[in-house]
Structure 1
């Protein structure tokens, strides 16, 4: 497969300290959830070093901090192989500033460079938002790049102003040592009804026109050790994204042997909305997803409708060759370290508290 991914996302486990409503992987604290054996995590990181385009290893879940000190060792392996590393966590372990700093000092000493946290309505039922603040501030004090994802939907009751306005936390946001980002909380197997305002859905649609930044760029490993061509929230629900089992072949072998897929390239360059619009021009009976804001929800709708793939395969778009040429040309451009870091700088410019506040106002239905 023609691919030059820059990130390996290791979904270490589907076990979590939380059981968020509408969790994308239906995670709970149940020990029966699948997890990648620790020796295999090390092996897959070492295998990834044979794919020269990889720059970053992400440890996520579930909750990757349930690995305990094995997480530190995995970060060490990533560092030895020349990778940057990041974790994604709900912050349950950051019960105080001192506890958070001690835990992160160990990871930083192993080479960890980035910390991502998640909070919002679903998360705060299990983890206090103040723990996320503790973790974020400790990470920033240690010089890590820090992002916090905030859930957002029309009925959100999360105290945004209370969260960002905490006196000790505010300077971190003002200096952009900690960056917050709203993200649509997406429907899965949850109990609460989720909806989005029309204005917010339009804002999200406008942002999707640039294509999907993760498919073919971020390769994921699931807890059942499947290699997947995207780290998107719906990856376990889209069979076409799964490339093969790492229990049978290496990371490099799977990537080299996977067939080229124009549909993935199209989503990568122009997003799933573009594919759906074209398919509907061929077959007007194809429906468009209703009340959807997250790009992964659009992608799931696209892949789950057999008429979409049939329409595209039966009547390939006239610009197919041009898209493939654009994709190939992008692959042959070497990724400079400065280019790889530029996306972080761009997020810091865009994801200001003021902008996130404005976005939340358009997204929320007045109480």
Structure 2
């Protein structure tokens, strides 16, 4: 079969002007040529890791607490050095700490002792935790097995050197059961059982805790405005309850009363945004009234506070001796270097 002749070339007189060529027929522009390679330095220096310095002062104890920490190997490990000093400049309780995902070491410089903790996984459901006190030559080995159903686990732990039976803990979604061997009053080995269980009843949560032949029952009811938490211990029949009332998003009152001792305490809290909190309360057992002002989130870290600084002023007024009232303060400041 003879090949068909090629089509004749398009005459320049028949070609469309550039402005009339459809966009999908216009070829894209060529990319710019890559820049010439830059010469590599003969010596490259490792970037210095960032440092975090935190200082805290408590006027009640007149002690400064300092902590210097840094992250190493792209945040795979963390190194921390902490110490305390008094108003005379004396340094005491220096500690060194190294922590990573599977290993942590805490070293007490004064005691020349190290606490070593390690954790690692053997498969997706088996976990090991090992701790060792170098100076005391004691430690603990624990193995945790996650069972087939989620929320169920079995943990066996034993001291090192090995003494007696291992401690067994069975965890389930609504509580746990602990079995361990201990000495009784006659120094005989007995098997001790403790357990805790939780369950929802009506609109609250009921918690039952058994330990050393004592049962503590607690019921917690909470809604958007109120919380009521009664507690009873058996066989002592000691009864107490806590009551909390939320008047507004910024105002809250908490009250606690013990029927057995007739002691009670009350705390009023008012917040101004996130970084200011005023609290005032009274404790009948200590016969003490107090008021405090927090600048910075009370339970948060100094990093999230304004200027990375948290301050607390507290006034304590004893009921029996008002003249011995004391004004104390705590300040915590963080620097990122």
Instruction: Decide: shared fold, TM above 0.5.
Output: no
Give the structure with the larger helix fraction: 1
| Relative contact order, higher structure (CA 8 A, sep 6+) | 1
TM-score of the two chains, using structure 1 as the length reference:
0.27
Give the structure with the larger strand fraction: 2
